[in-house]
Amino acid sequence: MKDCIFCKIANKEIPSEFLYENDYLFVIKDINPKAPIPLLVITKEHAANLNEINDEKLLAEILKGIKAVCEKLNIKEYKTVINTGKSAGQEVFHFHAHILAQ
């Protein structure tokens, strides 16, 4: 989607280090850390937030991706946050899940 920062990162218009990637999502470090280890799990396809994702396969892949990146990076304990909507604190309207770890 035009003018979406995470779409631009997804299609490499804006360079960013992918810590993990598969067919459905990629993982980058949050530019504004909210924990010592602040990761963002971002869908490759644009969807504004969780309310816009109805594909059960993709919903499962998001949870599998969260587990896979934590396994890859040896993160054993973590918080997962998915802000959905402005009043819930969502700032970027392209689906992402935060992984927050110490």
Which residues lie near ligand 5GP (CB under 6 A)?
5, 28-32, 40, 83, 89-92
Cβ neighbors of 12 (< 8 A, separation 6 or more) are none
Catalytic residue, from 46, 94, 96, 98: name it: 96
Q: Which residue is nearest to Zn ion (CB)?
A: 4
Annotation marks residue 96 as catalytic: yes
Nearer to Zn ion, 1 or 14 (CB): 1
Tally: H helices and E strands in the chain: 2, 5
**Contact positions vs Zn ion (CB under 5 A):** 1, 4, 6-7, 46, 94
State the Cα–Cα distance between residues 21 and 10, nearest whole angstrom: 10
Minimum gap (Å) between residue 32 Cβ and ligand 5GP = 3
The one-letter code for the residue type at 81 is V
Q: Which residue is nearest to ligand 5GP (CB)?
A: 32
94 binds, among Zn ion, ligand 5GP, none (CB under 5 to 8 A by kind): Zn ion
Q: What are phi and psi of 15, to 5 degrees?
A: -70, 140
Hey, what are 98's tokens?
């935060």
